[in-house]
Amino acid sequence: MGVEDPGPREAEARIDVERLLATLPPTEALVIRRRFGIGTPQETGSAVGKVLGLGKQRIGQIQAKALARMRGRAARGDRLA
């Protein structure tokens, strides 16, 4: 009663996230995917760092930069299609 099916909204959000990820440099996209478990199991900064040969602090820096880019593009309403 009164609760809408979250399915279509979730699907739309996933599409938006994938489009935003596609705008990032490959390393940034990989870090975001692995840290947040997008299409892969979620991993710690240390685990992602081992894959890329980087320290967890550097992974944190890359993650922060990528999230800032994604937020900025979403806020500006950049065309993602």
Distance CA 2, CA 23 (A): 37
pLDDT, averaged across the chain: 89
Distance CA 80, CA 57 (A): 30
The pair of structure tokens assigned to 11 is 């699907």
Stretch 18-35: mean pLDDT, rounded? Answer: 96
- Residue 31: other Cβ atoms inside 10 A: 29
Q: What is the pTM of this model?
A: 0.82
pLDDT of the residue at 80 = 56
Ordered by start, the domain boundaries in the chain are 45-81
Stretch 28-57: mean pLDDT, rounded? Answer: 97
If we measure between CA atoms, which residue out of 76, 70, 75 comes closest to residue 23?
Answer: 70
